Amino acid sequence: MELDLQLDIAYWNRGNLYYIIEQYQDALDDYNKAIELDPEYANNYFKRARTFNMLEQYEQAILDYGKFLELEPDSFTALNNRGNLYLKLNQPDVAIEDYNKALEIDNENSFAYYNRGRAFVDKGDIEATRQDFKRAAELGHTHAAQKLAELG
């Protein structure tokens, strides 16, 4: 009898547990091992990207979201998250590209409108900011409604 241990899944699961208890370096180590064992499993890259974000290694997180998107190109969440990282790195134009792609996948998601509005703030485009905050508020994003009121 041959035993199939599926060690990649074990490392992935343990990485998830480490992430939950905020032991991010341990989570990263396990996601690295899971990727080494199964480099085609997209969620390994997604989870590692989130972990890199928590470790404030934003460039690495962006690379992993990119790899995840190569394997799962229609992921609203990965595009939105990567856009947020580009905003952290003061790259609003690239962030807007990701938010636009995310909205092509789900044009009823308030978070992408709100986040794209934040990117427009960084660019100084107040009219586009208003439009996106307004749409986000219409879709139920309460913080967008507050920010819209602050814009006047």
The domain ranges of the chain are 1-71, 74-152
pLDDT digits (tens, 9 = 90+) for 9-30: 999 999 999 999 999 999 999 9
pLDDT of res. 3: 42
CA dist 48 and 44 (Å) reads 6
pLDDT of res. 14: 97
Fold observed for domain 74-152 = 1.25.40
Amino acid letter for position 17: L
Burial class (CB in 10 A: 0-12, 13-18, 19+), 141: buried
pLDDT of res. 5: 53
pLDDT of res. 54: 98
pLDDT of res. 7: 86
CA dist 114 and 93 (Å) reads 15
Instruction: Give ∠ CA 32-35-41 in degrees, rounded to 5.
Output: 145
pTM for this model (two decimals): 0.91
pLDDT of res. 8: 87
Pair 136, 113: CB distance under 8 Å: yes
Q: Given this chain, do its domains 1-71 and 74-152 carry the same CATH topology?
A: yes
**CATH code for the structural domain at 1-71:** 1.25.40.10
Tens of pLDDT, residue by residue, the chain (152 residues): 444 457 889 999 999 999 999 999 999 999 999 999 999 999 999 999 999 999 999 999 999 999 999 999 999 999 999 999 999 999 999 999 999 999 999 999 999 999 999 999 999 999 999 999 999 999 999 999 999 888 87
